[in-house]
């Protein structure tokens, strides 16, 4: 399962970042932040080609390092969801990743409708946190 | 009509009444329904609702191709979900101006046809103007939405997208 | 990279695409121009794509080639290493595949025999020098004559045969190079011939090596398998046979994988494996298989990643890994230049990044392993490093076979030497920074700005490690900006801590102060207090407390620097709009009058402690002018109390010149400290920075309370127009719209002065409104009573009295509505007052006019005749809603048209000639136009009829103008009359040869004689022969010539008298008169008659008492001019 999950806002500011290893938190932040390069490139590429099949919300694998695989997802409202998977965790199938993204998107949509949430702010809802932590690998 | 379908209409009507009655009294001392009250409160309610609502509505949609694609979504699925019917007519000049016509706008469906309450029309379209603007804003389209009613219950919404921004 | 990092350098000859070496002999390029040209043609433009991949080398006549080694038997031979260091270099530059001997020799050379022998001897001596090598030798004869293939050149064939027999050359090794203008074409052909020879040479070499293989056995000769395959691969590359080359390199690489790794050979195997792997990847790329290249590289790394080698030299393993990555990155970069598309997720930057990462590990490990090494061993175990025979061997045990036991002492010394070098002579940080730099530029190129940023941060860290705080700080401040923009505060906070430490260590005052201000808002409460205290200490000229976790020795030297550190400028200005500042400020212009400008400043401090400021200023700017003014905020309190909402005011007396203009708050400056070089000025834009205000609309969502809400409610107002003093002089304008076309339209200005102080410089300004179109502005005139003025009209007025009236006139020459801006400006008590108003009016036609020409009988005329009296009727209809007066009117006729006198009542006219019959009638010889002094109301009209006679014929033209002066009726003296000239319609004046007059009484009486006289006058100078006939009529009986021939002498008249006897009463038509010309020489006869005859005459019934006719017989053509009123 995931070692890091991040929700990133329209203007690329982080709204929520959670990871399993507290001591590597900063490293994950850098990684997630760097993955925005590829997301942005993919978004601009779609707008150029206008291929219908390229407009899926799930962007798939963004890039892989020796330790991690990083997957991306973009909503219609330009909210980006990034999931970091341990590279050694090879058993994960594509549709499992998709399912995680859908679950996160649902949780986000709920969080936005929370009357105590201000869109654009970092997410602090406990309910949302629980959903995310449910998807993080337990170690 | 099933009762739950009218719930939104009733709630909206009460919202209008509430906003009007909360206006400062010194502006309209006559005590009657204040038809010239500051519409921005209603518009803001709409914006806030639209902004939050669209997150949910577009959840299962593939990403929109362009601005027109987005507006089409607004006219069909979005509109139907809220108003139980799609927009009847969409026009655009392809320069960022879109005119959405609803010949039987739901929030005015129970008001007499024609011009009897025409002066109150702005009250009943402010929320929806805001709703459109909020939904589009969250989809990355900053716009100006105005509405025009010539004879109830037909209504036209004008969406104007300044051209210097990317769709 | 330092030169001491030599163990990892890749040999230069490995990095190039090998090319077949061809030796050139016998060319004297210094003294012989032809030779020079040949050499240039061969060696120049080597980089062209279509040229064969051949490297030419110019050989001196006495050139010596490396001697081939004598072949030993493989049975006993045990290789002492894998790849020889000199081998590639030897085959690339020293052992030519082909040697070409150039000779100047024509077939018909007179000294053929001698030259031939010389030539042959040169070939033979070369062959001697190359003994033992399979290098091909060939001969090129440079000839002046171009051979003609069409002619059977028996001499040539014969002598060529002679030569290659003598020199023992095959006939394929003799070439003729005719020296002419097609030199380049011939050399190109030669080149490909040489290349073919070279290929066959290398093929031969490959075969040689393959033959050895039979003698090899896996047990003893594992290295030779590697070496041989490598050599074959290299030769294949030289002959550009990449597929085979790749097979052999791959074989070589795989053979090496089989080698057992021991301490003795580990370094050598890894070094050589790196080289061969590089070759494999390179050939993959050359064969357009980048994916294979990359996967080979990955497998290579994967295989050797854990072969760490000697524990004490572990850093060398990481250095090796780093080198593998950086060389592959360079290869990939080189290939990208050659057009291999790299993508965002697969580009050289990633490999440089990994290289940097391994170098970093190398550094860490080296520091652990080598920090205690202080002495370099003697004798130097590394002394002969550059004389080693094989790649990757240790200098202290060259050629030592892996099976042999090691000398532990020597080994220890060697390791010590390497460790010493690593720690003392190698700057790993520089290597890391260099690699990061390469990576950064690649990431930038492949559109990965954020990945690049992360690398820059790493670079900053590395600079920090290497104690280059200045560079580190510069990079960190840039990155802070980038991460802050995207609100990645987790990263920002970490960078802030680092940057603050760096700024402290480098005693950079301005950066330190700026960073402190940002760090305050981003720190936890306790830390924030510390940061603020440091800030205050610095502004007081002191030395700040060091940041946490700094090396002690660095802190001491930093504190030293701090004691005298000053910022470059006297004070450090910090733009607070760039980050979330600890103090927020909103400015509102509350008054903006001519005599008082007041700015309210609302301040909210989030600093953890109260802080004193030294000055507080508002900067005002005035758009349009450059000058900027600073104004101090008046306040007793000099302390910013945290969390409360503080309000300050700044009062400014505006300059008179700024009144009426926009004033803008450009910044608000709050200074802390007042020591030069230690002062920080916080510059605010006055909008109150809201950290999350990307979408202003979303702020509605925000639920705030208390001070936050109060602060949020303050609406900033940063610019305003300084309003003028209200004028106490009233400006009133009266005018009666609409204006009439061409009229001097009166505009009356009334000024009433209620000012108590004297007024100076009072001006009235008139101008057409901005929106007035060109047509209207061109057709508008302006004047006062005396003179014409031009727009913009600026009239000085004297406002010393209490009231002033002035009249102006506007003349509009077309019907467009006009708008006039009227402005009164004056100065009182030093302030300029202005009052503006607008005069707008429509323009309409004043009157309409129509004219027509009539005969004496009032029939309309299309044409008129000379010597004939005709009439001009002018009709003027007023369209003005206001009564208008025609002051004077005159009919200005052209020179050949003269006015006729009229008979009229005496009472109507002055100075008439008296009639002898009647006292009341008179003859007016020069009648005036009757329009004069007529007043017309709306839609009223006036008619004037004038009798005239033309003296000469003329073509169609206007007969003159009607000139009117008029104005609207009203106050005398303030009216300016308008002169209008109206052209009369055009008409043609025809020559009149014959005219007819009728002399009849005004009316007749039933059954009483009615005398009628027709007078025919001939105006021409010839005889006219006419026939006159009078038709019978039922209205009249008549006596007189009914039909007669008339002979009219030139310039004479004849009268024909008839006595008519009316039979009926009423309007009666006279009997019809007809004139005919005998010879048709007179035109318009009918017209002449019909003009002369009255339509009808009135016959009264008989009365009992017959009296005299009431009216005298007055000449036809007079009618009393009248003014009709509707």
Find the CATH number of the domain harbouring C578.
2.60.40
For the beta carbon of residue C730, count every other beta carbon within 10 angstroms.
13
C490 in contact with A, Cβ within 8 Å: yes
Q: Determine the pLDDT at residue B166.
A: 47
Q: Are residues C185 and C243 in the same domain?
A: no
How far, in Å, CA of C864 to CA of C855, rounded? Answer: 8
Which residues are CB-contacts of C319 (< 8 A; sequence separation ≥ 6)?
Answer: C5, C7, C8, C358, C359, C362
Q: Which 8-state DSSP code applies to residue C901?
A: P
Contact C694, B142 (CB under 8 A): no
State the sign of the Cα–Cα–Cα–Cα dihedral C328, C299, A31, C473. Answer: negative
DSSP, collapsed to helix, strand or coil, labels residue C262 as: coil
Task: Say if residue C1116's pLDDT is above 50.
Answer: no
In chain B, what residues touch C700 (CB-CB under 8 Å)?
A: 44, 47-48
Q: Diameter of chain C by CA atoms?
A: 183
Find the CATH number of the domain harbouring B152.
3.30.1380.20
Instruction: Pick the closest to residue C1028 from C1041, C1018, C1017 (CA basis).
Output: C1041
Q: Are residues C139 and C274 in the same domain?
A: no
More reliable by pLDDT, C1108 or C677 = C677
Q: How many domains does chain C fold into?
A: 6
Strands C986-990 and C954-958: antiparallel
Span C467-518, pLDDT tens digits:
899 999 999 999 998 898 888 888 999 999 999 999 999 999 999 999 998 8
Is C491 in contact with A33 (Cβ distance < 8 A)? yes
Q: Which of residues 464-483 of C touch A (CB under 8 A)?
A: 483
Q: HSE-up of B51 (CA within 13 Å, CB side)? A: 27
Is B137 in contact with C701 (Cβ distance < 8 A)? no
Span C1031-1047, pLDDT tens digits:
888 888 888 888 888 88
Q: Determine the pLDDT at residue C863.
A: 77
In chain B, what residues touch C698 (CB-CB under 8 Å)?
A: 51
> Strand locations in C699-846, DSSP E?
719-721, 729-734, 739-740, 744-753, 759-768, 780-784, 788-789, 793-796, 803-812, 818-828, 831-841, 843-844
Question: Which DSSP string do the residues of C587-599 spell out, in sequence order?
Answer: EEEEEEETTEEEE
How far, in Å, CA of A104 to CA of A128, rounded? Answer: 9
CA angle C341, C320, C475 (to 5 degrees): 65
Strand order in the sheet with C759-768: C793-796, C759-768, C818-828, C831-841
Contact B161, B143 (CB under 8 A): yes
DSSP, collapsed to helix, strand or coil, labels residue C513 as: helix
For the beta carbon of residue B20, count every other beta carbon within 10 angstroms.
21
| Phi, psi torsion values for C820, nearest 5 degrees | -115, 130
Does C394 fall in a domain? Answer: no
Q: Determine the pLDDT at residue C317.
A: 92
Q: Determine the pLDDT at residue B33.
A: 47
Task: Say if residue B114's pLDDT is above 80.
Answer: no
Task: Say if residue C567's pLDDT is above 80.
Answer: yes
In chain A, what residues touch C451 (CB-CB under 8 Å)?
A: 34, 37
Q: How many domains does chain A fold into?
A: 1
pLDDT tier for residue B3 given thresholds of 50, 70 and 90? low
For C60-74, C85-99, C345-359, C1044-1058, which range has the lowest pLDDT when averaged over its residues? C60-74
Range of the domain at C162: 12-201
pLDDT tier for residue C689 given thresholds of 50, 70 and 90? low
Length of chain C: 1126
Task: Say if residue C635's pLDDT is above 70.
Answer: yes
Does C815 fall in a domain? Answer: yes
Helix (H) or strand (E) holding C227: helix C222-238
Range of the domain at B80: 3-21+37-160
B98 in contact with A, Cβ within 8 Å: no
Does C381 fall in a domain? Answer: no
Q: Is C54 exposed, middle or buried (0-12, 13-18, 19+ CB in 10 A)?
A: buried
Span C777-826, pLDDT tens digits:
777 888 777 777 777 788 888 777 778 888 888 888 888 888 888 888 88
How far, in Å, CA of C417 to CA of C426, rounded? Answer: 13
pLDDT tier for residue C1113 given thresholds of 50, 70 and 90? very low
How far, in Å, CA of C500 to CA of C538, rounded? Answer: 13
How far, in Å, CA of C253 to CA of C284, rounded? Answer: 14
Q: Are residues C137 and C27 in the same domain?
A: yes
Find the CATH number of the domain harbouring A59.
3.30.450.70
Range of the domain at A23: 2-135
Q: Determine the pLDDT at residue A53.
A: 52
Q: Determine the pLDDT at residue C1123.
A: 35
Find the CATH number of the domain harbouring C174.
3.40.50
- Choose from A43, A77, A117 for mutation: most chain B CBs within 10 A: A77
Q: Are residues C75 and C153 in the same domain?
A: yes
Average pLDDT rounded to a whole number, residues C1082-1100: 77
Q: Are residues C38 and C183 in the same domain?
A: yes
Of C791, C825, C840, which residue sits at a domain end? C840
Contact C188, C51 (CB under 8 A): yes
Does B30 fall in a domain? Answer: no
Does C64 fall in a domain? Answer: yes
B48 in contact with C, Cβ within 8 Å: yes
DSSP, collapsed to helix, strand or coil, labels residue A137 as: coil
The shortest CB-CB distance from A29 to any of C448, C490, C694 is to: C490
Find the CATH number of the domain harbouring C242.
1.25.40
Q: Determine the pLDDT at residue C1104.
A: 62
Helix (H) or strand (E) holding C115: helix C112-129
Does C556 fall in a domain? Answer: no
Percent of chain A clearing pLDDT 70 (strictly above): 91
Using CA coordinates, name the residue in chain B closest to C698: B48
How far, in Å, CA of B83 to CA of B79, rounded? Answer: 6
Instruction: Pick the closest to residue C108 from C150, C148, C172, C158 (CA basis).
Output: C158
* Cα C222 to chain centroid, rounded: 69
Does C541 fall in a domain? Answer: no
Does C410 fall in a domain? Answer: no
In chain A, what residues touch C457 (CB-CB under 8 Å)?
A: 30
Which residues are CB-contacts of C236 (< 8 A; sequence separation ≥ 6)?
Answer: C202, C206, C242, C244, C245, C248
Q: Are residues C1042 and C1081 in the same domain?
A: yes
Of C307, C332, C357, which residue sits at a domain end? C307
Which residues are CB-contacts of C832 (< 8 A; sequence separation ≥ 6)?
Answer: C656, C659, C660, C724, C725, C825, C826
Instruction: Pick the closest to residue C475 from C493, C455, C494 (CA basis).
Output: C455
Strand order in the sheet with C1066-1068: C1003-1005, C1097-1100, C1066-1068
Question: Which DSSP string do the residues of A9-69 spell out, in sequence order?
Answer: -TTS-EEEEEES-GGGHHHHHHHHHHHHHHHHHHHHHHHHH--GGGG-SEEEEEEE-SSEE
Peptide bond into C826 cis (omega under 30): no
Span C712-724, pLDDT tens digits:
778 888 888 888 8
How far, in Å, CA of A123 to CA of C424, rounded? Answer: 51
Task: Say if residue C909's pLDDT is above 70.
Answer: no
How far, in Å, CA of C433 to CA of C373, rounded? Answer: 25
Average pLDDT rounded to a whole number, residues C987-1008: 80
Span C101-147, pLDDT tens digits:
888 887 777 888 888 888 888 888 888 888 878 888 888 888 877 76
State the sign of the Cα–Cα–Cα–Cα dihedral C298, C299, C300, C302. Answer: positive
- Which chains border A (3 or more CB–CB pairs < 8 Å)? B, C
Q: Determine the pLDDT at residue A22.
A: 84
Q: What is the pTM of this model?
A: 0.71
Q: Determine the pLDDT at residue A52.
A: 47
C704 in contact with A, Cβ within 8 Å: no
Span C163-219, pLDDT tens digits:
777 777 777 778 888 877 777 778 888 888 888 888 889 998 888 888 877 777 777
Task: Say if residue C910's pLDDT is above 90.
Answer: no
pLDDT tier for residue B165 given thresholds of 50, 70 and 90? very low
B61 in contact with A, Cβ within 8 Å: yes
Find the CATH number of the domain harbouring C1018.
2.60.40.10
Average pLDDT rounded to a whole number, residues C626-652: 85
Length of chain A: 139
Span C258-316, pLDDT tens digits:
888 887 888 888 999 999 999 999 999 888 888 899 999 999 999 998 888 888 889 99
Smallest CA–CA separation between C465 and chain A, in Å?
19
Does B73 fall in a domain? Answer: yes
pLDDT tier for residue C464 given thresholds of 50, 70 and 90? very high
Task: Say if residue C1117's pLDDT is above 50.
Answer: no
Contact C614, C541 (CB under 8 A): no
Span C1015-1026, pLDDT tens digits:
888 877 788 888
DSSP, collapsed to helix, strand or coil, labels residue C634 as: strand
b/e map C614-624, b = 16+ CB within 10 Å: bbbbbbbbbee
Does B32 fall in a domain? Answer: no
Q: How far is CA C200 from CA B121, C99, C204, C235, C628, in A?
A: 95, 13, 6, 11, 84
More reliable by pLDDT, C918 or B45 = B45
Q: How many domains does chain B fold into?
A: 1
Average pLDDT of chain A is 84
Q: HSE-up of C125 (CA within 13 Å, CB side)? A: 14
More reliable by pLDDT, B148 or C1093 = B148
Average pLDDT rounded to a whole number, residues C817-836: 83
For the beta carbon of residue C669, count every other beta carbon within 10 angstroms.
20
Helix (H) or strand (E) holding C603: strand C596-605
Does C1037 fall in a domain? Answer: yes
A119 in contact with C, Cβ within 8 Å: yes
DSSP, collapsed to helix, strand or coil, labels residue C54 as: strand
Smallest CA–CA separation between C326 and chain A, in Å?
17
Average pLDDT of chain C is 82
Contact B141, B92 (CB under 8 A): no
Q: Which of residues 130-159 of B touch A (CB under 8 A)?
A: 138-140
How far, in Å, CA of C202 to CA of C214, rounded? Answer: 20
Which residues are CB-contacts of C365 (< 8 A; sequence separation ≥ 6)?
Answer: C314, C315, C318
More reliable by pLDDT, A56 or C1104 = A56
């Amino acid at each position: 399962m995931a070692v890091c999950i991040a929700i990133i806002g329209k203007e690329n500011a982080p709204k929520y970042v959670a990871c399993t290893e507290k001591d590597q938190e900063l490293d994950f932040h850098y990684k997630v932040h760097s993955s925005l390069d590829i997301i942005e490139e993919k978004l601009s590429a779609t707008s150029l080609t206008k291929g219908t099949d390229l407009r899926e919300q799930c962007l798939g694998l963004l890039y892989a390092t020796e330790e991690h695989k990083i997957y991306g997802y973009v909503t219609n409202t330009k909210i980006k969801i990034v999931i970091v998977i341990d590279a050694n965790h090879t058993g994960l199938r594509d549709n499992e990743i998709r399912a995680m993204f859908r679950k996160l998107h649902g949780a986000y949509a709920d969080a936005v409708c929370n009357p105590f949430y201000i869109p654009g702010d970092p997410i602090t809802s406990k309910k949302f946190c629980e959903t995310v932590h449910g998807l993080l690998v337990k170690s | 009509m099933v009762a739950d379908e009218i719930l939104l209409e009733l709630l909206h009507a009460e919202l209008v009444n509430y906003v009007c009655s909360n206006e400062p009294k010194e502006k309209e001392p006559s005590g009657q329904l204040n038809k010239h009250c500051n519409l921005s409160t209603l518009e803001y309610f709409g914006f806030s609702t639209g902004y939050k609502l669209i997150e949910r509505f577009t959840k299962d949609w593939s990403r929109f191709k362009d601005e027109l694609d987005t507006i089409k979504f607004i006219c069909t699925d979005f509109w139907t979900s809220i108003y139980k019917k799609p927009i009847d007519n969409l026009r655009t000049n392809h320069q960022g101006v879109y005119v959405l016509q609803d010949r039987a706008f739901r929030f005015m469906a129970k008001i007499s046809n024609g011009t009897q309450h025409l002066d109150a029309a702005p009250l009943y379209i402010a929320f929806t103007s805001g709703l459109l603007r909020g939904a589009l804003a969250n989809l990355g389209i900053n716009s100006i939405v105005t509405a025009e009613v010539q004879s109830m219950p037909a209504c036209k919404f004008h969406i104007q997208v300044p051209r210097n921004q990317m769709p | 990279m330092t030169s001491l990092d030599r163990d990892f350098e890749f040999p230069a000859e490995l990095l190039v695409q090998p090319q077949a070496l061809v030796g050139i002999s016998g060319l004297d390029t210094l003294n012989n121009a032809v030779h020079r040209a040949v050499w240039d043609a061969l060696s120049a433009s080597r980089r062209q794509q279509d040229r064969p991949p051949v490297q030419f080398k110019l050989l001196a006549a006495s050139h010596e080639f490396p001697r081939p080694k004598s072949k030993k038997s493989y049975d006993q031979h045990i290789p002492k290493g894998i790849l020889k260091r000199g081998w590639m270099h030897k085959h690339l530059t020293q052992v030519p595949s082909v040697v070409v001997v150039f000779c100047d020799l024509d077939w018909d050379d007179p000294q053929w025999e001698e030259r031939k022998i010389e030539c042959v001897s040169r070939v033979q001596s070369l062959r001697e020098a190359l003994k033992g090598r399979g290098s091909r030798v060939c001969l090129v004869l440079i000839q002046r004559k171009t051979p003609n293939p069409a002619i059977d050149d028996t001499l040539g064939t014969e002598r060529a045969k002679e030569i290659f027999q003598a020199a023992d050359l095959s006939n394929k090794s003799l070439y003729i190079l005719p020296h002419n203008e097609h030199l380049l074409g011939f050399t190109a052909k030669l080149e490909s011939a040489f290349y073919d020879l070279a290929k066959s040479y290398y093929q031969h070499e490959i075969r040689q090596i393959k033959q050895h293989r039979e003698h090899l056995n896996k047990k003893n000769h594992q290295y030779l398998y590697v070496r041989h395959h490598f050599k074959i691969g290299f030769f294949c590359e030289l002959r550009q046979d990449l597929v085979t080359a790749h097979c052999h390199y791959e074989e070589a690489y795989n053979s090496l994988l089989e080698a057992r790794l021991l301490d003795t050979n580990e370094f050598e195997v890894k070094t050589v494996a790196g080289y061969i792997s590089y070759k494999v990847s390179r050939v993959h790329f050359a064969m357009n298989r980048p994916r294979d290249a990359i996967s080979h590289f990955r497998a290579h790394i994967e295989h050797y990643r854990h072969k760490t080698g000697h524990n004490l030299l572990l850093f060398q393993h990481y250095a090796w890994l780093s080198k593998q990555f950086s060389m592959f990155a360079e290869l990939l970069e080189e290939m990208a230049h050659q057009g291999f598309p790299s993508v965002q997720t697969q580009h050289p930057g990633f490999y440089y990044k990994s290289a940097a990462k391994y170098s970093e590990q190398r550094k860490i490990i080296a520091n652990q392993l080598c920090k205690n090494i202080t002495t370099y061993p003697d004798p130097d175990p590394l002394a002969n490093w550059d004389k080693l025979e094989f790649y990757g061997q240790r200098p202290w045990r060259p050629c030592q076979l892996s099976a042999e036991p090691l000398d532990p002492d020597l080994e220890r010394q060697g390791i010590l030497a390497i460790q010493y070098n690593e720690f003392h002579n190698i700057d790993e940080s520089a290597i890391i920074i260099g690699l990061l730099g390469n990576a950064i530029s690649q990431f930038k190129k492949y559109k990965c700005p954020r990945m690049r940023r992360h690398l820059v941060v790493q670079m900053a860290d590395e600079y920090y490690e290497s104690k280059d705080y200045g560079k580190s700080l510069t990079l960190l401040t840039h990155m802070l900006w980038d991460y802050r923009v995207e609100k990645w505060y987790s990263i920002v906070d970490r960078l802030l801590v680092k940057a603050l430490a760096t700024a402290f260590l480098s005693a950079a005052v301005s950066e330190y102060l700026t960073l402190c201000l940002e760090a305050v808002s981003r720190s936890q409460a306790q830390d924030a207090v510390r940061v603020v205290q440091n800030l205050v200490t610095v502004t007081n000229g002191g030395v700040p407390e060091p940041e946490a976790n700094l090396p002690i020795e660095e802190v001491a030297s930093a504190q030293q620097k701090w004691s005298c550190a000053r910022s470059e400028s006297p004070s450090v200005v910090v733009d607070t709009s760039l980050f979330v500042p600890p103090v927020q400020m909103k400015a509102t212009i509350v008054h903006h009058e001519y005599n008082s400008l007041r700015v309210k400043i609302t301040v909210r401090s989030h600093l953890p402690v109260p802080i004193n400021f030294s000055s507080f200023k508002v900067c005002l700017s005035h758009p349009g002018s450059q000058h900027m003014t600073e104004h101090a905020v008046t306040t007793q309190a000099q302390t910013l109390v945290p969390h409360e909402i503080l309000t300050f005011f700044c009062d400014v007396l505006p300059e008179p010149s700024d009144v009426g203009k926009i004033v803008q708050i450009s910044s608000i400056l709050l200074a802390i400290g007042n020591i030069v070089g230690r002062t920080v000025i916080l510059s605010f834009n006055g909008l109150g920075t809201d950290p999350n205000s990307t979408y202003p609309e979303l702020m509605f969502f925000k639920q705030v309370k208390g001070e936050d809400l109060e602060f949020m409610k303050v609406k900033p107002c940063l610019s305003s127009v300084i309003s003028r003093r209200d004028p106490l002089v009233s400006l009133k304008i009266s005018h009666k719209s609409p204006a009439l076309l061409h009229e001097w339209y009166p505009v009356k200005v009334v000024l009433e002065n209620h000012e108590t102080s004297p007024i100076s410089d009072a001006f009235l300004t008139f101008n057409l409104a901005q929106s007035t179109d060109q047509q209207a502005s061109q057709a508008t005139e302006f004047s006062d009573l005396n003179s014409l003025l031009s727009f913009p009209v600026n009239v000085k007025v004297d406002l010393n009295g209490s009231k002033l009236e002035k009249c102006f006139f506007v003349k509009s020459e077309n019907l467009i509505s006009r708008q006039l801006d009227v402005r009164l400006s004056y100065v009182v008590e030093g302030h300029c007052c202005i009052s503006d108003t607008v005069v707008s009016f429509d323009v309409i036609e004043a009157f309409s006019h129509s004219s027509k020409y009539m005969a004496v009988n009032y029939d309309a005329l299309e044409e008129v005749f000379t010597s004939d009296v005709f009439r001009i009727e002018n009709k003027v209809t007023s369209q003005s809603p206001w009564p208008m007066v025609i002051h004077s009117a005159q009919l200005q006729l052209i020179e050949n048209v003269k006015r006729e006198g009229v008979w009229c009542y005496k009472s109507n006219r002055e100075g008439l000639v008296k009639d002898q019959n009647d006292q009341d009638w008179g003859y007016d010889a020069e009648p005036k136009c009757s329009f004069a002094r007529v007043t017309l109301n709306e839609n009223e009209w006036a008619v004037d009829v004038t009798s005239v006679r033309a003296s000469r014929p003329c073509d169609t033209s206007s007969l003159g103008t009607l000139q009117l002066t008029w104005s609207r009726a009203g106050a005398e003296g303030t009216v300016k009359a308008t002169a209008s000239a109206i052209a009369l319609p055009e008409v043609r004046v025809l020559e009149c040869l014959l005219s007819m007059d009728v002399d009849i009484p005004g009316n007749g009486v039933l059954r009483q004689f009615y005398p009628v006289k027709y007078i025919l006058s001939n105006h021409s100078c010839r005889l006219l022969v006419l026939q006159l006939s009078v038709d019978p009529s039922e209205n009249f009986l008549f006596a007189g010539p009914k039909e007669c021939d008339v002979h009219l002498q030139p310039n004479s008249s004849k009268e024909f008298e008839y006595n008519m006897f009316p039979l009926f009463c009423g309007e009666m038509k006279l009997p019809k008169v007809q004139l005919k010309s005998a010879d048709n020489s007179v035109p318009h006869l009918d017209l002449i008659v019909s003009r002369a005859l009255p339509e009808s005459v009135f016959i009264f019934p008989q009365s009992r008492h017959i009296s005299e006719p009431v009216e005298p017989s007055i000449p036809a053509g007079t009618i009393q001019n009248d003014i009709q009123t509707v």
